[in-house]
């Protein structure tokens, strides 16, 4: 399959989160979207960030993001990269906000990187993001806790070793799953 991920309920929940940030008038110096897909989130980041980076592992998705951002008057402060998570950044590069709609479904051998990645991918996302997140910075991502999970916090706490502040910023129940926007704040002790 491996088509560019079409915006869906999870994308729109992240956009709602960003709308809330926009209304709070918070401005970020440097933001990053991991898994930019069609570029909707990246486009929204341009409203609240001085500089934006967008990464996707799929070349076609990077092109789609470039096409969308190319229409923006702020396109000159947006950097679009085809790559795997944060592997291309030097250790000295830090972000105030990292946001992602990761492939959170557990792998079922469909071979579709846009939806399959599961808890292993989310753990990698958290680990790599924390290495490039400024103190007090935000890591925001959407996921669907495994069915039967009664405590949405434990799902994430089981994936990380560091002491972090984890908030549930938004959630939405659909008929087959619950989508949760997690907001992780990098504490000064991390």
Yes or no: say if 48 and 54 are a contact pair by the CB < 8 Å rule.
no
Helices (H) and strands (E) in the chain, counts: 5, 7
Question: Mind listing the pLDDT tens digit of every residue in the chain (190 residues)?
Answer: 568 878 889 999 999 999 998 888 889 999 999 999 999 999 999 999 999 999 999 999 999 999 999 999 999 999 999 999 999 999 999 999 999 998 766 656 555 554 555 677 888 898 899 999 999 999 999 988 765 555 555 556 665 666 678 888 998 988 877 899 999 998 765 4
pLDDT at 103: 78
Specify the residue for token string 């679009």: 80
Provide φ and ψ at 70, rounded to 5°.
Answer: -60, -20
pLDDT of amino acid 159: 54
102 within some domain: yes
In a domain, 4, yes or no: no
The side-by-side arrangement of strands in the sheet containing 78-82 is 78-82, 49-56, 28-34, 95-100, 133-143, 178-185, 165-173
Which residues 6+ apart lie within 8 Å of 127 measured at CB?
160
- Residue indicated by tokens 């989130």: 41
The reply to whether 3 falls in a domain is: no
What is the phi/psi pair of residue 91, to 5°?
Answer: -65, -15
Number of domains comprising the chain:
1
**Residue 51 domain boundaries:** 9-185
Looking at the domain assignment, is residue 2 inside a domain? no
Residue with tokens 């709609």: 101
Report the candidate in 31, 20, 122 with the shortest Cα–Cα distance to residue 69.
31
CA distance 65 to 75: 11
Assigned domain for 77 exists: yes
Indicate which CATH number applies to the domain containing 105. Answer: 3.40.50.150
| pLDDT, position 145 | 74
């Amino acid at each position: 399959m491996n088509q560019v991920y079409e915006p869906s309920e999870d994308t729109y929940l992240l956009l709602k989160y960003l709308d809330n940030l926009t209304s709070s008038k918070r401005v970020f110096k440097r933001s990053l979207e991991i898994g930019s897909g069609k570029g909707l989130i990246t486009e929204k980041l341009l409203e609240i960030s001085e500089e934006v980076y967008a990464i996707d592992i799929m070349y076609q998705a990077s092109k789609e993001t470039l096409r969308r951002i190319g229409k923006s008057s702020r396109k000159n402060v947006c950097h679009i990269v085809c790559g795997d998570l944060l592997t291309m950044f030097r250790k000295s590069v830090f972000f105030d906000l990292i946001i992602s709609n990761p492939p959170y479904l557990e792998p079922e051998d469909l071979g579709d990187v846009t939806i399959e990645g599961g808890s292993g991918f989310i753990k990698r996302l958290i680990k790599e993001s924390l290495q490039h997140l400024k103190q007090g910075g935000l890591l925001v991502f959407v996921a669907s806790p495994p069915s039967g999970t009664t405590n949405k916090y434990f799902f994430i706490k089981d994936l990380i070793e560091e002491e972090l502040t984890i908030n549930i910023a938004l959630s939405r129940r659909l008929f087959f799953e619950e989508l949760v926007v997690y907001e992780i704040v990098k504490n000064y002790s991390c």
